[in-house]
């Protein structure tokens, strides 16, 4: 499998406090990779460095062989990376439809865009029903679906998702994980940050464990599910 994303010795500091202390990981084409870790471990920071939302104090990020370490965030999506940010971050005062169209902001193919949109409405019928509703008035789960749909509107090859199940009821959580699996089956590579380690490890191919800015464990997701230290720390067993 071709290497899609590679992160080398990545370091980030907020002021003087290090948030990432030189981490390495890679994502191959077609994989679902989980990045798990406790609150404040640096998971969000790791995703932010890939899309350029935080400055790095060292290291490199390569996407499909290209160095994107210093690429500004607004040039990332047209390269094929979509980011579903933590807390969904939909545009609250725009309609569902407007939010989705902003997901396709950099695309120039008018007719195909309409096709992507109808595909997304098929996958998320609730979004179709609420097309004209302001995003800020949607429920948390619906906002998560909108954030995912918006990211998919860019037709990404790699999608980064930051805690898509956060704060959702169990039914919504299952639905979100089903959707992640479907997205992956359609050929999109997935890098998933999750608090819900059990579910994340269940759908992931491989996983990395982040602890206070360092990667302390990694391997096949099925192996990590059996690992005693992981079970204790992240699976509540």
Partner 1 sequence: MVSFITNLINGLSLGSIYAIIAIGYTMVYGIAKMLNFAHGDIIMVGAYIAFTVITTLSLPVGLGILFAVGGCLLFGIAIEKIAYKPLRKAGSPLAVLITAIGVSYFLENMALLIFGSDPKIFSSVVPFQTVAAGPFVIPGTTLISIVVSLILVTALQLFINKTKPGQAMLAVSQDRDAASLMGISVNGTISLTFAIGSAMAGVAGVLLCSAYPSLSPYTGAMPGIKAFVAAVLGGIGSIPGAMIGGLVLGIIEILARTYISSQLSDAIVFSVLIIVLLVKPTGLMGKVIQEKV
Ligand X SMILES: Nc1ncnc2c1ncn2[C@@H]1O[C@H](COP(=O)(O)OP(=O)(O)OP(=O)(O)O)[C@@H](O)[C@H]1O
Alpha helices in 36-80 (DSSP H): 43-50
SS3 15: coil
Q: Going residue by residue from 157 to 186, which x/- string records binding to partner 1, judged by CB under 8 A?
A: ----------x-------------------
Burial of residue 70 (number of CB atoms within 10 Å: 0-12, 13-18, 19+): exposed
In the bound state with ligand X, the residue whose beta carbon lies nearer, of 127 and 197, is 197
How far, in Å, CA of 76 to CA of 90, rounded?
18
Out of 37, 44, 69, 150, name the contact with Mg ion by CB under 5 A.
Answer: 44
Q: Which of the ranges 19-27, 61-69, 84-92, 150-158 carries the binding residues for Mg ion, by CB under 5 A?
A: 84-92
Residue 42 in contact with partner 1, rule: CB under 8 A:
no
Position 165 contacts Mg ion (CB under 5 A): no
Q: Which is nearer to partner 1, 106 or 118 (CB)?
A: 106
Residues near ligand X (CB under 6 A), total: 12
Interaction pattern, residues 75-94, with partner 1; x per rule: CB under 8 A: xxxx---xx-x-x-xxxxxx
Q: How far apart are CA 199 and CA 174, in angstroms?
A: 9
From edge to edge, which strands make up the β-sheet containing 66-67?
Answer: 17-28, 3-14, 58-63, 66-67
Residues at the site binding Mg ion, with contacts judged by CB under 5 A: 44, 86
């Amino acid at each position: 499998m071709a290497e899609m994303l590679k992160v080398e010795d990545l370091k980030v500091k907020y002021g003087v406090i290090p948030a990432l202390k030189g981490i390495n990981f890679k994502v191959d084409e077609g994989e679902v990779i989980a990045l798990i870790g406790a609150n404040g471990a640096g998971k969000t920071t790791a995703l932010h460095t890939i899309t350029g939302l935080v400055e790095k104090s060292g290291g490199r990020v390569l996407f499909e062989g290209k160095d994107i370490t210093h690429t500004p965030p607004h040039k990332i999506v047209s390269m094929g990376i979509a980011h579903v940010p933590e807390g969904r971050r939909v545009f609250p005062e725009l309609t569902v439809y407007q939010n989705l169209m902003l997901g396709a902001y950099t695309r120039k193919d008018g007719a195909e865009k309409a096709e992507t949109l109808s595909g997304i409405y098929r996958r998320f019928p609730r979004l179709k029903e609420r097309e004209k509703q302001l995003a800020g008035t949607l429920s948390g789960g619906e906002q998560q679906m909108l954030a995912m749909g918006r990211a998919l509107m860019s037709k990404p090859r790699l999608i980064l998702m930051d805690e898509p199940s956060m704060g959702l009821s169990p039914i919504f959580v299952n639905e979100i994980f089903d959707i992640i699996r479907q997205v992956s089956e359609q050929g999109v590579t997935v890098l998933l940050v999750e608090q819900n380690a059990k579910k994340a490890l269940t759908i992931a191919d491989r996983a990395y464990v982040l602890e206070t800015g360092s990667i302390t464990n990694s391997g096949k997701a099925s192996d990590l599910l059996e690992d005693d230290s992981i079970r204790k720390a992240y699976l509540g067993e």
